[in-house]
Amino acid sequence: MASPVASSTDLLTLFRRSFADNTLSAEEAQHLRAQLAAHGQLGPVLDELRHQLFAVVRERFNTLPDKAAIEWLEAASALLLPPAEALNTHSEVYFSPDDDCVGAIQRFIQRAAHRLEVCVFTVSDDRITDALLAAHQRGVQLRLLTDNDKLFDKGSDVRQLHAAGVAIHVDNTTDHMHHKFAIADGRSVLTGSYNWTRSASLYNHENFLITDDTAIVQRYQAEFERLWTSLGAYQNQ
C-alpha cells in the first residue's frame, strides 16, 4: 500500500525536524525530495512553504543583523525560482500508433495565427501537407527546413509545397537534417521522434511533445534561425 501524500503542514513538520540539529543529511534530503515530488504542488503553494521555512530559521535568531541577512537570503533565493508564467505552461504528449498524432499536428498547425516554422526530415503525409497548405493560404508566414535525401522519396510533398509558394531551405550536405519539430507564432513547439509520414501514424512507435514552455520554445526558435541561415534555398530539380 502506498504511503499517504504529505500535506503542506506535514512537509513543514518534516523540515522542522531536519532543522533541529542544523544538519540536512543525504538521507533526510532524499526523503524530503520524495515527499515534495509526491506532494505535486507548484507555484503559490510551494512558495508559501518556502516562506514558512525561512520563518522557521528566523525563530532561531534574535539579532537584527542575523534577521536582516535571512530576509536578504529569502528575497535573493526567490530570484532563482522560475517566473510565475513558467509555472503555468501547458504541455501535451502523444504516442503513435495509438494516439491521434495526425490530428494533434493538424490542430497545432491550425492554431498558428502569424508564423509557422517547420523543421522536419521529410513530409509525406497528405493530411499534414494539406494543413500546411491551408495555413499558407490563409496568410501564415510558413518556412520549411528539410533534408535533400528525402526530396524524391515516393510520396514526398516538398515539391508540392514549394510549388504553392512555401519558403523552403534544404540541407544539401552529406549529413542529414534529421530534426522533427515545428514552432507556432514563437509561442509553442512540437517536437519528438515522429516523422511526418503515414508510416509514423499507422505503424511506428513514435512520440512527440507539444509545449508552450518559453525557455524551450526559445531554444528551438534559435536553432531554426541558425539552420535557416546556414542551409540553402530549395531549387527545383
- Measured CA to CA, the distance from residue 160 to residue 47 in angstroms comes to 52
**For residues 207 and 95, is the Cβ–Cβ distance under 8 A?**
yes
Among the listed residues 149, 185, 212, 213, the single catalytic one is: 185
Among the listed residues 180, 205, 212, 213, the single catalytic one is: 180
Give yes or no: 180 in active site. yes
Give yes or no: 66 in active site. no
- Measured CA to CA, the distance from residue 78 to residue 85 in angstroms comes to 14
Give yes or no: 178 in active site. yes
Among the listed residues 67, 114, 178, 205, the single catalytic one is: 178
- Measured CA to CA, the distance from residue 120 to residue 101 in angstroms comes to 15
> Is cis: bond before 97, omega within 30 of 0?
yes
Please report how many Cα atoms fall inside a 13 Å half-sphere around the Cα of residue 63, on the Cβ side: 3
Question: Residues 6 or more apart from 102 whose CB is under 8 A from it?
Answer: 125, 127, 128, 201
Active site residue ranges: 178, 180, 185
